[in-house]
Structure 1
């Protein structure tokens, strides 16, 4: 396998949902928020996953750190993303951006 070195970053967020939020409602909101992400410079891919304990993790692949940071400033202001973020329990939210050491 050949590994390519690049400047891509992974934005990894973990969180719980606001009490009373239905999973179907959240997943639909997440799908709509992805549309806002796709419109951002440097967006590559996004996955949202639910853990057995009910917490959520999302991984967004970005071309570079500048793209990730710029999008983090702009995306929450879009209506679709604002509706999505309203379903996330703010105190539980954690975000990290990590340089990709290699990918294949």
Structure 2
């Protein structure tokens, strides 16, 4: 791994659409990983987390902010990404992805 202090973390919280269960989300998340994210330049890893309020979040690690921006540009053209996004109750205008640059890492 390159200097991890320059890596960017994308925090993308969302709410599931009504009627979507966890198994459906996990299947779509697996497809998104296999068919889109793992093929993106600068992608490092991703965690799917359930928040304490019942919402969900993708926590995605990238080599740089530019890697995130490029993936965001191409995501709307990818069928697996579109299927995943359709499971979310949050409209595009409500989506707030937060980008963070790692300053220091501890183990």
Task: Provide the residue aligned with 1:99 in structure 2.
Answer: 101
Question: Under a length normalisation based on structure 2, what TM-score does the superposition of the two structures give?
Answer: 0.86
Q: Which runs of 5+ in 2 are unaligned?
A: none
**Runs ≥4 residues deviating over 6 A:** none
The answer to whether the 8 A contact 1:12-1:58 is kept is yes
Shift of 1:5: 5.7
Within-5 A mapping of 1:38-57: 38-57=38-57
Residues 1:8 and 2:10 are matched in the alignment: no
Structure 1 residues 47 and 5: alpha-carbon distance in aligned structure 2, compared to 1, 3 A threshold: closer
Task: Provide the residue aligned with 2:19 in structure 1.
Answer: 20
Shift of 1:90: 2.3
Question: Under a length normalisation based on structure 1, what TM-score does the superposition of the two structures give?
Answer: 0.88
The answer to whether the 8 A contact 1:46-1:58 is kept is yes
